[in-house]
Structure 1
Amino acid sequence: MATHKTEETDETDKSTNRRGVAVVAALMLGAFAFNTTENLPIGVLKLMADDLDRSLSAVGLLVSGYGLTVALVSVPIARATRSVPRRLVLCALLAALLLASVVAALVPSYEVLLASRLVTAVAQALFWAVMGPVAVGLFPPHVRGRVIGALSVGGSAALVLGVPGGTWLGQHTGWQVPFLVVGALAVPSFVVIAAVLPDARPEESHAARGVRPDRRRFAVVLSVTALTVTGVFAGYTYISEFLVDESGFSESAVSTLLLVLGITGIVGVAVYGRLLDRFPRATLAVPVATQAVALLGLYAAGGSRVVATAMMVFLGASLGPVFMATQNQVMYVAPGRTETAVAANSAAFNAGVAAGALAGGLLLPVVGVRGTFLVGGLMTLAALALLLEEHLPLRGKRLTAAPKGAAARADARTRP
């Protein structure tokens, strides 16, 4: 009898695990689709401007307005929907992505396109807020980092595969087709989530609240997100101009370097994602330090093609892991609901993108394109200093009252 019950338990665990993997795969696809949609106009900007008879700056608003919308609505919409079953929420968001993409592609109007983009931005804001807690809640707490790492691979792949692929498709078929294709990606994700995700309320999950709530640590992590993202986009916004004018690369070589940056980003996310659970502090501090080295290295020695190439690899290996690690930590130390914490981090990220691009634009006439990387590097160093300063008092306390035993050593290693 006992053996029979054990076999039933094992089968139940395997079935639950398979459902969890299927949901994570569907969420990865959804993250890929949303991130591709957000950045797709960058690759087909001129095509859209010519077809809609609008200026490049007006079409550029489809990207900047999207990011600002995500930054503004992330926290309010996460709070407003905190009691709604997550299967219903995710299915509604994916349906919104599909419908908005179809409208954007088929209605030849700039105003309608802008409205559809804003609808998609609101959907993306909530999708990113609930995606992590939903996925983490399907697995034991000790694999939280690996789950977040998997989701981050889906989002990062959008910049390496989604946007370049959408750009190529748009150049050969018209800018509307990639929007339709990306919208269609929401369909399999919708089907899997509707069929497999349990219809439970969010508060019933072990991932609904932070494991070790810590308001101070939460504020530090949000500050690190804002500083690192603002810093990197102050320079990265003008990376193509830098590589051509300062490093002496051809425009075709720049495309290759950007592809290398994207690939190293996926590799970085995959590698760091497997280490998040064991070394949560190091997996944030190390990529922040790497980003600082990359930005300052481009400023100091970016005139050398060899150095510039190496710094692009460093930059790619740090961008995705920094945000992934902050997502992991805000979920761990969230002072309240994890959806709200993740939404706040997403808002900080998108605000940083806008602030970085704005700061770079204002500084460009004063310090030149090289100088924007110096400013970005110094901001990243400030984020690193915040992390190190926040950690030093903890080390001092342990020296004066250090716990004993293997458990204490393990706790010191895994504490975020």
Structure 2
Amino acid sequence: MNQPSPPTGRTTAAARSPLSAVGALVALAVSAFAYVTTENLPIGLLQVIAEDLRVSLPAVGLLVTGYGVTVAIVSVPLTHWTRRIPRRHLISGLLAVFVLATVVSVSTSSYTVLLAARVITALSQAVFWSVAGITAAGLFRPEVRGRVISVLFAGSSLGIVAGVPAGTWLGQQSGWRAAFLALSALGALTFVAVIVLLPTEPPGQGHAATGTTPDARRYWIVVVTTGLIILGQFTCHTYITTFLTDVSGFSAAAISPLLLLSGLTGIAGTAGFGFLVDRAPRTAMVIPVALLTVTLLGLYAAGAARLPAAALMALSGFSMGALVTALQSRTLQVAPGRSEIAAAGTSASFNVGISGGALIGGVLLPHTEPRAIPLAGAAIAACALVVLLCEPLVARRPAGPGAREVPDQAGAALS
């Protein structure tokens, strides 16, 4: 991440400096932190919000599930509609929407208004995730793309590890509105940073605007693999607290440290795989998908013992952190058209997996013991691994000019 590639089109003077490129990347990472924390914070403040607004706990839960469903539905169409807006203007506009919608959400005593404000925030997040990775990658040389993406997604990982716990504590001490107001202030700061540091260039310019080795069939393998592995993971992970207490025998007080452990190893996975995705992009996808499959099988087979369960939680966090880095980088490699549309497709698939996994786990749990939930997740995850491992069969039938794969010797060794 030593030197940004020369910007094309109109740029701000500041954006020509390597220091400004690093600053813009940090601003995007902080924006990711703010979005992820905002999306998940109602989970930690469920009871506080319910009591304040005099609504049920499931109604507050809808603030999270409705958010994810909105992102899944609108990612592709909204990204398509905004594709001609220069990134500096688009991302600053998205952050302005984030700030205003969050302020509205803390200024109301109406659950309906709060839900509407959350949906508007989700609309801005849907586009943000579609363009943030491409924008960050375009600031630097293609050779360091994986490391750039890992910095961006470290922000989202920190949202889970630090943002949600800190926001939960603040909300419990000073009311849930104080927590969301703090996130709004953070969004305002990143808005200013994006305005100052991010270059203004015509959309569709730069090396990250299109895939480096575009291939429609490989791209759809990435989309299907993403949906399946996240579906399997969240079939179990949505109800992991029930599993850890009822099956592994942990106390309720031990859940937070276990989730923190998983989050910390997730940051390690995000950072560590930044180097691998620059050298062996396909391998960087295969490894975390395989590890998540093994983790789910391990929870079923050995999760009744505390030490193996804790170790598997750590491995799960590491694998998820590695997966999000590898997924974004692989999408930028094989995107068959505009990169932001391709990224919107994988983002939608990711969120469908989250919502679908929660639904499958919720349907299964009343009819089976909690120990069986990871097994169901493992079966789905195994399907994702099979799809991904079949990719070389697709590669032997070139899709046309430009569909040539960059050699991945480590990936070839796995095949």
Question: Which structure 2 residues correspond to residues 26-41 of structure 1 after superposition, within 5 A?
Answer: 26-41=27-42
Partner Cα separation in structure 1 for residue 380 and residue 405 of structure 2: 33
Q: CA deviation at 1:281?
A: 1.3
Question: Which structure 2 residues correspond to residues 233-272 of structure 1 after superposition, within 5 A?
Answer: 233-272=234-273
Which residue of 2 is the match for residue 170 of structure 1?
171
Amino acid paired to 1:344:
G
Which consecutive unaligned segments of at least 5 residues does structure 1 have? 1-11, 398-407
Change (3 A) 1:141 1:126: same
Amino acid paired to 1:225:
T
Which residue of 1 is the match for residue 158 of structure 2?
157
Partner Cα separation in structure 1 for residue 149 and residue 319 of structure 2: 16
Could you tell which deviates more after superposition, 355-364 or 192-201?
Answer: 192-201
Answer yes or no: is 1:121 the counterpart of 2:122: yes
Selected match of 2:408 from 387, 412, 415: 412
Question: Which structure 2 residues correspond to residues 67-216 of structure 1 after superposition, within 5 A?
Answer: 67-216=68-217
Indicate the percent of aligned positions where both proteins have the same amino acid. 48
Could you tell which deviates more after superposition, 120-129 or 102-111?
Answer: 102-111
Partner Cα separation in structure 1 for residue 323 and residue 66 of structure 2: 24
Change (3 A) 1:208 1:410: closer
SS in 1 for 2:287: helix
Instruction: Name the count of aligned residue pairs.
Output: 395
Change (3 A) 1:223 1:393: closer
Write out per-residue CA displacement over residues 120-168 of structure 1, whole angstroms, 9 at most, x where no aligned residue.
0000001111111111111111111111111110111110001111111
Answer yes or no: is 1:300 the counterpart of 2:288: no
Partner Cα separation in structure 2 for residue 199 and residue 415 of structure 1: 37
Change (3 A) 1:205 1:297: same
Q: CA deviation at 1:296?
A: 0.8
Partner Cα separation in structure 1 for residue 354 and residue 342 of structure 2: 19
Q: CA deviation at 1:30?
A: 0.2
Partner Cα separation in structure 1 for residue 182 and residue 324 of structure 2: 27
Write out per-residue CA displacement over residues 232-280 of structure 1, whole angstroms, 9 at most, x where no aligned residue.
1101111111111111111111111111000000111110112210121
Q: CA deviation at 1:363?
A: 1.1
Partner Cα separation in structure 2 for residue 324 and residue 65 of structure 1: 25
Tell me how large the CA RMSD over aligned residues is.
2.0
Partner Cα separation in structure 2 for residue 217 and residue 16 of structure 1: 36
Write out per-residue CA displacement over residues 182-235 of structure 1, whole angstroms, 9 at most, x where no aligned residue.
111112211111112121112122211111111110010001110111101101
Amino acid paired to 2:186:
L
Change (3 A) 1:171 1:13: closer
Write out per-residue CA displacement over residues 102-131 of structure 1, whole angstroms, 9 at most, x where no aligned residue.
111121111110111001000000111111
Larger radius of gyration: 1
Partner Cα separation in structure 2 for residue 20 and residue 380 of structure 1: 37
Which residue of 2 is the match for residue 23 of structure 1?
24
Partner Cα separation in structure 2 for residue 414 and residue 341 of structure 1: 25
Which consecutive unaligned segments of at least 5 residues does structure 2 have? 1-12, 398-403
Write out per-residue CA displacement over residues 266-314 of structure 1, whole angstroms, 9 at most, x where no aligned residue.
1111101122101211111111111111111111111111111111111
Answer yes or no: is 1:359 the counterpart of 2:360: yes
Partner Cα separation in structure 2 for residue 14 and residue 278 of structure 1: 27
Write out per-residue CA displacement over residues 59-95 of structure 1, whole angstroms, 9 at most, x where no aligned residue.
1111110000000000001100111111111111111
Partner Cα separation in structure 2 for residue 263 and residue 82 of structure 1: 35
Change (3 A) 1:380 1:415: closer
Partner Cα separation in structure 1 for residue 14 and residue 350 of structure 2: 36
Amino acid paired to 2:32:
A
Partner Cα separation in structure 1 for residue 306 and residue 387 of structure 2: 32
